[in-house]
Structure 1
Amino acid sequence: MAGWKDGSVQEKYRLVVVGGGGVGKSALTIQFIQCVIDERPARLDILDTAGQEEFGAMREQYMRTGEGFLLVFSVTDRGSFEEIYKFQRQILRVKDRDEFPMILVGNKADLEQQRQVTQEEGQQLARQLKVTYMEASAKIRMNVDQAFHELVRVIRKFQEQECPPSPEPTRKEKDKSGCHCVIV
């Protein structure tokens, strides 16, 4: 584990962005960012799967290594919305789990005139999949960082349930500001 400014241990998370072709996965992805999320430093190793939609074996490989998944569809493309269920089922099958850290992201939310999927439909699917739903726009940088941060929170919660941390005194971070994202 890499250290942080004050010598505290830094957590690293491997996040995978999945979704159909043309939903804006590349635009959402910021490779390897470091930030402070809820006062805890984290390094995000973000894998963008753009261009790999048709390679089933490759998709299974990144699904095996991912610790959390952004299920991305475009609100302007109903077909990409309908594909999400397939991606979610495949992740759970590869992980051999009933649940796993994921959030649902409706991208291209700035294109209100071309919208084919309503916010209510996105929320309904999220409830069905038991995940958080967020709408984002990579173009106007709306909810992009927030989506990755929310996913890290879901992963942390999941990992704490899997193996509760040993009781030790919690040390407050010196730096309490929201997020400093640094592309490295």
Structure 2
Amino acid sequence: MVAKVYDYTSAPAFIIGNEFINLVIDPVDPKYMNYDIVFFLDDVPSRVTIPFESGARNKEIELIFTGMPTPTAVPAEAEPEPEPEPEPTNTAVPPTPVPEPTQTPVPPTATPVVVTSEIVEETAVVPEEQFFGTCSAPDQKSAPVAQSVANGLLILAPLGLLWVYRRYRKK
């Protein structure tokens, strides 16, 4: 079953029993507004039409189709009589000679040599960890107090500017 609005045709809907499902009518063009939706089942139009409204949702529509062709009975074809299967005949299989295994000489196996090893312990030299400094204070163990205060003021500067701006605006 399909629905047609003017020259737009929807995708076919599924029909289960006497109900149709998943019929989506979405022409995506405002020119179809207020045209009638005509429903077709096997190219037979429904007597019920409704105006198309964009975004409308109608879950229950009773459609009436008149003039549907009645199915004609197809005579069953007579099955042909099965032919009898021929009986299988036994075929004599000639004996095949079985090959005899031949002996091959095996070379002697080499005896494994046991190698002993001694673990030599070396003292590992651990490199001294280098200090690269903090925030523009290279080669120092810690940042000086003045540097820390300057960093704190730079972090709080935007808040101070906002406070000054608000005080200035109130006056």
TM-score normalised per structure 2: 0.18
Normalized per residue, the structure richer in helix is 1
Higher relative contact order (CA 8 A, sep 6+): 1
Look at both structures and tell me which one has the larger radius of gyration over its CA atoms. 2
The structure whose residues are more often strand, as a share, is 1
**Could you state the TM-score of these two structures normalised by the residue count of structure 1?**
0.17
